[in-house]
Structure 1
């Protein structure tokens, strides 16, 4: 009897691979991942689980100590995969949660360099995405409570001369894939997102895109509520300090941030930059503005975050410039728990 091929699995015969022909697609993000704490926001390996609950929504994320939890930089792999799937389906092509592509396609698609270090970091990201276990009640049917999965069910690589990886095949989680093929659960994001270097500011951009969208009044959160939604290990005071530094830099593409206080509570208002400019407000600062050393919330400075030419840091400007309006939805249907504050208090979802 012939031996089964290496890396064969029970799912392989039932899944025709979706071969990515080109990596040039507008970046798209999955809505459920944009506002809940699914990823570590630090480059320091995290083993402590994320346990998040808001109403009927529960998210639990567990990691293996030897790999650490999947980070928000690892999530670039999922964003790129979602972009390719949506772009192919828009063109009438058949897709699958089994993707076949080259690392070069992915790395250039998310604005990273393509040296040996980047290939090594890319494979480390795949390991974390596969070893991280997620359990959530989001998008479950009437008679089902929660679903458990890893972001990548399996992956394999094809080696070339000198050990260089020539091709990669990954099988995405069915929960994630179903959330991508449902067009109502996907939002276009600014390509400049990949150039944001800090974990908190990356997460904050995704929250802004999901909630503020293009609403002229934007969206407002108390910092205590944002801290809860982020899943950050930082103390609330350190998290608030990080937010203040981000507000001072204004690095989020397409959005303007302001802080104020009401009844002794600090609040963050996120408004689309187009609305601010229309009203004669400040112009958007360059995303290349210097970033201070504290790019991970509450963590000591990490050398790799400032290193040159690494897969942790975006490099060249993406080929596609950001359109004037990224997506068209006002996001008026944003999740209700986003209006809830820590302790059960409620504020207005949209800024007055």
Structure 2
């Protein structure tokens, strides 16, 4: 029997700019920061196609009503632009320089820092993102900068292409942030959190939301638990609860194999997600190093024996079990299929 590969392809996007050019170096060094409000609450859509639906979100006394722009709601990936602006402004404040709501920069620098494509399509996507950020309307009473008040605003007040090349590539743009977002910057970072730079390499919008929720709620605690329905509300997912459970199970399984979501590990039993802060230097060896990688063909075989079970949740349970019992696994595929056989079909 052939050995399983111990180094399967990482779910992370490739590092498109591993060595930023000399002129971008200072900009690249600015620590990525995001506002806590949009990390905790679903201000951005998870959709990868135009999302033309309005959304309402409530939690306790907090409410958020979101209306789409003419080309759809602002996406999780559009948020990169705001993270870049916030990060650059905070870096200037920390250097003792003054900042205003309006910021001028080269889009190429932003694309390098946020690991975006710098082709012609990349510039077109950047322009579309600006339209969605400006056109998405948000009504909320979320407190920002210590101010408790009702607000209705767009995420950016306006955007201007100041200079572009003959072939239409933007060389300089000017963006004015909303007062609501700028309040977080003026509060000297009290409403901001530092993000890991690999955040920009997370491929799936839901992976980014899981990281944001983990960073906001777990932070520097050792762990945080959240129920599936509450997690779905916070993530802003419009999927059915069954589909959302499957998506979370898959991400948790992938992260167990690759630890690609920075700083945090997850355990999921189908009803609750446990988030654990990954201890620096003290984390368990990755599943790949422990020989706990299951192939797709083994999952298919396991499904036949454990009909009705979420195969990824079952895989996560198996992995936790063999780890907690310190079981030596010689063949992960065979061991997992046997585990599925013993579990048998799901009984309601």
TM > 0.5 between the two? yes
Question: In the TM superposition, what whole-angstrom CA distance separates every residue of 1:301-336 from its partner, at most 9, and x where no partner exists?
Answer: xxxxxxxxxxxxxxxxxxxxxxxxxxxxxxxxxxxx
**Secondary structure of 2:203 counterpart:** coil
Distance (Å, rounded) in 1 between the aligned partners of 2:51 and 2:146: 34
The 5 A counterparts of 1:317-336 are: none
Q: Which residue of structure 2 aligns with residue 324 of structure 1?
A: none
What pairs up with 1:294-333 in 2 under 5 angstroms? Answer: none
SS of structure 1 residue aligned to 2:167: helix
2:45 aligned residue (18, 40, 48): 40
Cα–Cα, structure 1 residues 32 and 144, in superposed 2: closer, same or farther, change >3 Å?
closer
Match of 2:128 in 1: 124
Q: CA RMSD in A?
A: 2.4
1:179 equivalent in alignment to 2:188: no
Instruction: Give the superposition deviation at 1:35.
Output: 1.3
Residue pair 2:145, 2:184 contacting (<8 A) in 1 also? no
Q: Does 1:283 align with 2:271?
A: no
> CA contact under 8 A between 1:203 and 1:230: conserved in structure 2?
yes
Q: CA separation of 1:147/1:21 partners in 2, compared to 1, >3 Å: closer, same or farther?
A: farther
Give 1:134's aligned residue: 138
Which of 192, 195, 203 is equivalent to 2:201? 195
Is 1:222 aligned to 2:227, yes or no?
yes
| TM-score, scaled relative to structure 2 | 0.70
Matched, 1:148 2:157: no
Partner of 2:264: 255
Higher helix share: 2
Quote the Cα distance in structure 2 between the aligned partners of 1:99 and 1:215. 35
Q: Which runs of 4+ in 1 moved over 3 A?
A: 140-145, 282-286
Match of 1:274, SS state, is: coil
Partners of 1:207 and 1:141 in 2: how far apart? 20
Q: Is the 8 A contact 2:144 2:184 kept in 1?
A: no
Contact 1:62 1:134 survives alignment (8 Å): yes
Q: Does 1:111 align with 2:115?
A: yes
- The residue aligned with 2:174 is 169
Q: Distance between the aligned counterparts of 2:132 and 2:117, measured in 1?
A: 20
Is contact 1:69-1:132 (8 Å) kept?
yes
Question: What is the TM-score with the length of structure 1 in the denominator?
Answer: 0.70
Partner of 2:269: helix, strand, or coil? Answer: strand
Which deviates more from structure 2 when the two are superposed, residues 160-169 or residues 198-207? 160-169
Q: 1:256 and 1:141 mapped to 2: Cα distance?
A: 31
The structure with the largest alpha-carbon Rg is 2
The aligned residue for residue 273 of structure 1 is: 278
Could you say which residue in structure 2 is the equivalent of 1:306? none
Please give the alpha-carbon distance, in whole angstroms, between the structure 1 residues aligned to 2:81 and 2:186: 17
Q: CA deviation at 1:145?
A: 4.8
- The equivalent of 2:58 in structure 1 is 53
Q: Which of 1 and 2 has higher RCO (CA within 8 Å, sep 6+)?
A: 1
Deviation at 1:47, TM superposition (A): 1.1
Q: For residues 61 and 191 of structure 1, what CA distance do their matches in structure 2 show?
A: 28
Contact 1:37–1:50 (CA<8 Å) still a contact in 2? no
Match of 2:85 in 1: 81
CA pair 143-245 structure 1, distance change in 2 beyond 3 A = closer
User: SS at 2:27's partner residue?
Assistant: coil
* Corresponding residue pairs, total: 261
Q: In the aligned structure 2, how far is the partner of 1:191 from the partner of 1:95?
A: 23
Cα distance change, pair 207–90 in 1 and its aligned pair in 2 (3 A): same
